[in-house]
C-alpha cells in the first residue's frame, strides 16, 4: 500500500505567489499510564557511571535524567501524566522543484497518542533471559550481545517498555495521576495498540544515547471491549496480556518503513485506505518538557531567526530560496517557479540539533526527515518520518561546553591552511587577461591577497537565463590561455588559484574546445543517479539538465578524485565544492537506500569525497614540506547536514540577495553565520555583497555601492574575506568598479590581515574544541537576558572583539550593547573611547570605512590588533 506521493513541479509556470503553509501532522498529545505492580512510585536508575534516570509517580508519572555532577538539574524530562512516545500512520506528499522541496502530510489514518509504562528495567549486562521475558521485542533491537563485546558500552543501561494506543471516546470521564476511571479515549483511526521500547545508555561522560522503537500496530484491539483502566491500570493490563499471548512478530529496520512506495503525480489521488493493511507506523513522536522562557538555538545554518521557541522547524536539506519572505522578490520567484522563493525555514544546511538557554541540548542521529515542534510553551515534540528514532542528550554547564560536547561526537574541521586566512580571496571572472589586469590594479593599492577564485575556469556559455558555466570540470584553454603559467606567476607572489566544481555533470557535446566529456564518462561507468526506469536521472537546472553523481557507488569517489588530481596537478590549491542539496527524493541509488534519507546524507558524502582527496594529497606530500611549506589544499561548500563539520573544511552561506533585507539579504548573512556556529560549523562566511541580482521591469535588485562597502566591513571580521561578482556582474557594484571601491577593498583586506594572529588562534581552537570563529553573544553571556533578543545586530570574534555592523541603508550609526557577566571595558578601535557600563546600549558613530568595532581594554589581543592597524596605516 502506498503512503508516499512524489510530485514534480519543475516545469510549472505562473504559480501561486503566496503558497500556503504545507499541511503537517498536528502536535500529538495523550495520557500516560503505568503499572504500579511493576513500576514503583519513586526510583532512581543509574545510566552508566555519570547519569541517572529518575521516575516519579507524582502528577501522573514522569521521567527525568540528571548528570551526577548536578543531581538537582534535569537535562531532559517528560511532562507529568502525559505520553512521551506516540505513533502515527499518515500519507505523505513531497513536492519537488529545482532543488526546492515541500513535505506535506496529506491524510492521517491512525494515531496512537496514549502511552503506558509496563516496566523500567536496568540492564547490567546481556542476559539471554531478556528475550524470553520480552518475546515481542524486535530482533536486533537492543544489540545487547554486540554491546557486551564493545569496549565503548557503559553499563548499566535502562530500558523502558510499554504500549502506545488509542481508543474512541464514548463519554467523558476524569483521570488523574495515571489512573483512569472507566475512560475511553478518542483516537484517529480504529482502536489500535503497539509495543514500544525506549533504551537509554551512556555514550561518554557528557552524553546519553537514546533509542525509541515501535512494534507493529495491533488492530485486534478494536474488537475487544474498551480497555478501561480501573485502579492503577488493571483493566488495560488484562487487555494487553491477551495480545501478548498471540506472540505477534515485531521487527525493526533502520530504513524507511516498508509501507512506503512511490506514485507519480499523474496517478489519481489515493482512495480511502484501510489502516489494517499497513504493517508499520511511519511516524514516531518524542515529546518532553520545556520551560516557558526557554530559548532554542541551533538547528544548523538558519537565516531568519536565532531563537526558535514558538516555531515548527523542519530539518530537510534544500535550496534556501530566493527572497525567503522578503518582498517583492519572493512574490516574483514563487510566481515564476514553484515555491522558488522559499520561506524562513528553508536552508542548505539544517541540523537536527539544538541547545537552549537552560543549558539543555539534544540531537538526532540518522537522516530521516524530522520536525521539531516548539509551538507549545511547555513542551518539545519531535516528529520523525519513520518508525524509530535515535539520538543523544548532552550535558554541559555553558554553551561553549555544549558545542564542545556535540562536536566531540559529530566531528570538527581540520585546521585551515595558513594561506586562506592571510589575505583577501578575489572572486572574479573573465579569463587570463582580466585576472592579470585586476591583479595589477590591486598592486597599486597594496592590498593583501591570498588567492584568486576563478569559478569560470571551465568556460561559459550563453543560455536563456544568461551566461552560465560549462559543468564539465576541466580548464577552458581558450578562456584561460596560459592557465598553468598564470598559476605559476601568481604563486611566485604567494597567491593561490582556486576554482569551482559540483557533483553534477552537464552534457557538453556542443562545447567546441572540450578535451573530455565527463558526463559521458560517468554515464559509461554507470556512476550517475538513476531514475525509476534505470536511466540517468536528468535533473532540471535553470536552462539545462544535468546528471548527478551517485555518491553511494563504490567507483564514484575514485573517479572524481582523478578529476580533482588533474586540477591540482595544474597548481590549483582550492575550490568551491558547490551544491549537494538537490538529490531527487525518487531517485534510485546504487546502495538501494531510501532516497529521502539519502537526500539529507548526500551533502555529507559530497564533502567526504573532497575531504578524502585533500587528506590523501597531504599524505602523499609527507617529506616534501620543505619544498613549499605554504602548499596546502582547501575546499568550501554550502550544503550540509549534522555531521558536515567533520568532513567539510570551510563553508559559505550560499546565495544571498544583493539587498539590505532581513530574510535573504545582508542581515540574513549574519544570522546564518551565528546560527551555524552554534551548530558546529566553526568556519563560515558569505559572498561579499551577496550573490543574487534581479533585473526585471518592475522588480530590480542590484548591488549598490553602499551595500557592497558595508558588506566588506562585515566580512572583514569573518573567517574568510572573499568577494563574488554575483550572478549578474554588470548589474552590481564590484570592488574594481572605481577608485573608491578599490580603496575600500584594500583598506578592509588590511583590517582583515591585522587580526590574522588572533584568527590563527581561533582556527586552532575550532579544530580542537569545535568553537566557531564568529560567535553569538549567547555563547559567552548566557545569563544576560538582553543578549537573547539579539539576532543580526552584533557578534563576537572569539571573546576579544565585538563587531556591530551597519546593516541598513543610509545609516551612519549603530546601537551597540555591552553585555553583563564579566568586569571588562570595551574600547572603540577608531576613537579609543572606553565603554565601562555593562548591560546598556550606546549609540556609536559608524560612517562608511569605520564600522563599530570594539576590543577588550588591556587585552593582549586588543593591543596587538590596534598596533597592527597602525603598522598597516589603517589607524
Tell me: cis bond preceding 328? Omega within 30 of 0 counts. Answer: yes
Q: Which cell is 725 given?
A: 561578482
DSSP-assigned letters across all residues of 321-337: -SSTT-TTHHHHHHHHS
For residue 870, count other CB atoms closer than 10 A to its CB.
10
Q: Is 581 a catalytic residue?
A: yes
Q: Where are the alpha helices (DSSP H) in 288-363?
A: 329-336
Q: Which segments within 721-846 are labelled E, that is strand?
A: 774-775, 795-797, 801-804, 813-818, 826-828, 834-835, 840-845
Q: Is 93 a catalytic residue?
A: no
Q: Which of 581, 586, 653, 784 is catalytic?
A: 581
Give the burial class of 619: count Cβ atoms within 10 A of its Cβ; 0-12 exposed, 13-18 middle, 19 or more buried.
exposed
DSSP type of residue 698: S
Q: Compute the distance between CA of residue 526 and CA of residue 670 in angstroms, rounded to an integer.
A: 42
3-state secondary structure of 277: helix
Q: Which of 96, 368, 550, 578 is catalytic?
A: 578
For residue 770, count other CB atoms closer than 10 A to its CB.
25
Q: Helix axis angle, 483-492 relative to 432-444, nearest 10°?
A: 20
Q: Is 578 a catalytic residue?
A: yes
| CA torsion through residues 625, 630, 636, 642, sign | positive
3-state secondary structure of 371: strand
Q: Which of 319, 655, 725, 784 is catalytic?
A: 655
| 236 alpha carbon, distance to own chain's centre | 42
DSSP type of residue 304: S
Q: Compute the distance between CA of residue 660 and CA of residue 309 in angstroms, rounded to an integer.
A: 26
Q: Compute the distance between CA of residue 656 and CA of residue 693 in angstroms, rounded to an integer.
A: 9
Q: Compute the distance between CA of residue 127 and CA of residue 139 in angstroms, rounded to an integer.
A: 15
Q: Compute the distance between CA of residue 758 and CA of residue 671 in angstroms, rounded to an integer.
A: 23
Helix, strand, coil shares of the chain as percentages rounded to 5? Answer: 25, 30, 45
Q: Which cell is 316 given?
A: 530537510
Q: Which cell is 292 given?
A: 516557558
Q: Which cell is 862 given?
A: 586588543
Nearest 5°: CA angle at 740, between 739 and 744?
115
CB 448 within 8 A of CB 424: yes
**Catalytically active residues, by annotation:** 578, 581, 655
Amino acid at each position: 500500500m502506498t503512503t508516499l506521493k512524489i510530485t514534480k513541479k519543475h516545469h510549472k509556470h505562473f504559480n501561486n505567489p503566496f503558497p500556503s503553509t504545507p499541511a503537517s501532522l498536528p502536535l500529538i498529545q495523550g495520557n500516560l499510564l503505568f503499572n504500579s505492580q511493576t513500576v514503583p512510585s519513586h526510583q532512581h536508575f543509574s545510566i552508566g557511571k555519570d547519569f541517572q534516570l529518575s521516575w516519579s509517580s507524582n502528577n501522573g508519572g514522569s521521567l527525568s535524567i540528571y548528570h551526577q555532577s548536578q543531581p538537582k538539574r534535569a537535562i531532559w524530562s517528560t511532562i507529568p501524566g502525559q505520553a512521551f512516545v506516540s505513533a502515527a500512520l499518515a500519507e505523505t506528499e513531497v513536492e519537488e522543484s529545482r532543488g526546492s522541496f515541500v513535505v506535506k502530510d496529506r491524510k492521517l489514518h491512525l494515531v496512537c497518542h496514549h502511552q503506558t509504562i509496563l516496566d523500567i528495567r536496568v540492564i547490567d549486562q546481556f542476559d539471554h533471559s531478556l528475550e524470553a521475558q520480552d518475546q515481542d521485542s524486535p530482533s536486533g533491537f537492543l544489540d545487547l550481545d554486540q554491546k557486551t563485546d564493545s569496549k565503548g558500552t557503559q553499563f548499566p543501561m535502562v530500558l523502558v517498555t510499554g504500549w502506545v494506543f488509542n481508543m474512541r471516546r464514548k463519554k467523558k470521564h476524569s483521570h488523574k495521576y495515571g489512573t483512569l476511571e472507566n475512560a475511553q479515549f478518542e483516537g484517529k483511526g480504529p482502536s489500535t495498540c503497539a509495543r514500544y521500547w525506549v533504551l537509554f545508555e551512556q555514550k561518554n561522560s557528557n552524553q546519553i544515547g537514546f533509542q525509541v522503537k515501535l512494534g507493529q500496530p495491533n488492530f485486534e484491539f478494536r474488537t475487544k471491549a474498551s480497555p478501561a483502566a480501573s485502579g492503577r491500570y488493571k483493566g488495560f493490563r488484562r487487555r494487553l496480556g491477551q495480545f501478548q499471548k498471540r506472540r505477534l512478530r515485531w521487527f525493526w529496520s533502520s530504513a524507511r518503513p516498508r509501507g512506503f512506495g512511490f506514485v507519480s503525480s499523474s496517478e489519481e489521488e489515493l482512495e480511502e485506505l484501510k489502516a489494517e493493511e499497513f504493517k508499520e507506523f511511519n511516524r514516531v513522536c518524542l515529546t518532553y518538557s520545556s520551560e516557558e522562557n526557554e530559548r532554542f538555538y541551533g538547528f544548523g545554518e538558519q537565516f531568519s531567526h536565532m531563537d526558535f521557541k514558538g516555531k515548527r522547524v523542519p530539518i530537510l536539506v534544500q535550496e534556501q530560496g530566493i527572497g525567503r519572505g522578503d518582498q517583492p522578490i519572493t512574490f516574483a520567484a514563487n510566481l515564476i517557479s514553484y515555491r522558488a522563493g522559499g520561506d524562513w525555514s528553508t536552508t542548505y544546511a539544517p541540523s537536527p540539533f539544538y541547545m537552549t538557554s537552560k543549558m539543555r541540548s539534544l540531537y538526532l542521529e540518522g537522516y530521516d526527515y524530522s520536525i521539531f515542534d516548539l509551538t507549545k510553551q511547555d513542551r518539545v515534540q519531535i516528529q520523525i518520518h519513520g518508525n524509530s528514532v535515535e539520538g543523544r542528550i548532552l550535558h554541559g554547564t555553558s554553551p561553549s561546553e555544549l558545542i564542545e560536547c556535540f562536536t566531540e561526537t559529530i566531528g570538527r574541521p581540520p585546521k585551515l591552511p595558513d594561506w586562506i586566512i592571510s589575505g583577501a580571496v578575489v572572486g572574479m571572472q573573465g579569463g587570463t587577461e582580466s585576472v592579470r589586469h585586476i591583479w595589477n590594479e590591486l598592486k597599486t593599492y597594496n592590498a593583501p591577497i591570498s588567492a584568486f577564485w576563478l569559478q569560470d575556469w571551465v568556460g561559459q556559455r550563453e543560455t536563456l537565463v544568461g551566461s552560465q558555466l560549462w559543468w564539465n570540470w576541466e580548464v577552458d584553454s581558450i578562456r584561460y590561455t596560459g592557465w598553468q603559467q598564470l598559476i605559476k606567476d601568481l604563486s611566485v607572489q604567494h597567491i593561490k588559484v582556486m576554482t569551482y566544481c559540483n557533483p553534477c555533470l552537464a552534457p557538453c557535446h556542443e562545447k567546441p574546445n572540450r578535451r573530455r566529456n565527463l558526463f559521458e564518462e560517468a554515464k559509461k561507468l554507470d556512476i550517475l543517479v538513476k531514475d525509476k526506469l534505470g536511466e540517468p536521472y536528468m535533473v532540471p537546472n535553470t536552462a539545462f539538465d544535468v546528471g548527478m553523481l551517485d555518491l553511494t557507488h563504490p567507483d564514484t569517489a575514485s573517479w572524481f578524485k582523478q578529476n580533482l588530481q588533474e586540477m591540482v596537478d595544474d597548481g590549483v590549491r582550492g575550490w568551491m565544492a558547490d551544491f549537494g542539496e538537490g538529490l531527487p527524493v525518487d531517485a534510485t541509488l546504487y546502495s538501494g537506500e531510501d532516497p529521502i534519507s539519502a537526500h539529507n546524507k548526500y551533502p555529507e558524502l559530497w564533502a567526504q569525497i573532497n575531504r578524502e582527496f585533500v587528506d590523501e594529497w597531504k599524505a602523499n606530500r609527507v617529506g616534501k614540506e620543505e619544498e613549499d611549506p605554504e602548499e596546502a589544499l582547501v575546499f568550501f561548500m554550502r550544503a550540509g547536514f549534522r555531521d558536515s563539520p567533520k568532513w567539510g573544511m570551510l563553508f559559505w552561506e550560499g546565495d544571498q540577495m544583493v539587498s539590505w533585507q532581513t530574510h535573504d539579504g545582508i542581515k540574513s548573512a549574519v544570522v546564518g553565520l551565528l546560527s551555524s556556529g552554534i551548530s558546529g560549523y566553526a568556519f563560515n562566511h558569505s559572498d561579499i555583497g551577496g550573490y543574487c541580482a534581479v533585473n526585471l521591469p518592475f522588480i530590480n535588485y542590484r548591488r549598490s555601492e553602499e551595500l557592497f562597502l558595508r558588506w566588506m566591513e562585515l566580512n572583514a571580521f569573518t573567517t574568510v574575506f572573499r568577494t563574488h561578482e554575483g550572478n549578474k556582474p554588470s548589474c552590481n557594484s564590484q570592488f574594481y568598479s572605481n577608485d573608491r571601491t578599490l580603496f575600500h577593498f584594500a583598506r578592509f583586506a588590511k583590517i582583515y590581515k591585522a587580526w590574522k594572529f588572533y584568527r590563527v588562534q581561533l582556527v586552532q581552537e575550532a579544530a580542537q574544541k569545535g568553537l566557531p570563529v564568529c560567535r553569538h553573544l549567547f555563547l559567552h553571556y548566557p545569563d544576560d537576558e538582553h543578549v537573547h533578543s539579539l539576532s543580526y545586530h552584533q557578534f563576537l570574534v572569539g571573546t576579544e572583539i565585538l563587531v556591530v555592523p551597519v546593516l541598513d541603508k543610509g545609516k551612519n550609526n549603530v546601537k551597540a550593547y555591552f553585555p553583563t557577566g564579566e568586569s571588562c571595558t570595551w574600547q572603540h578601535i577608531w576613537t579609543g573611547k572606553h565603554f565601562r557600563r555593562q548591560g546598556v546600549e550606546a549609540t556609536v558613530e559608524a560612517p562608511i570605512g569605520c564600522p563599530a568595532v570594539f576590543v577588550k581594554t588591556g587585552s593582549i589581543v586588543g593591543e596587538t590588533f590596534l598596533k597592527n592597524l597602525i603598522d598597516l596605516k589603517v589607524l
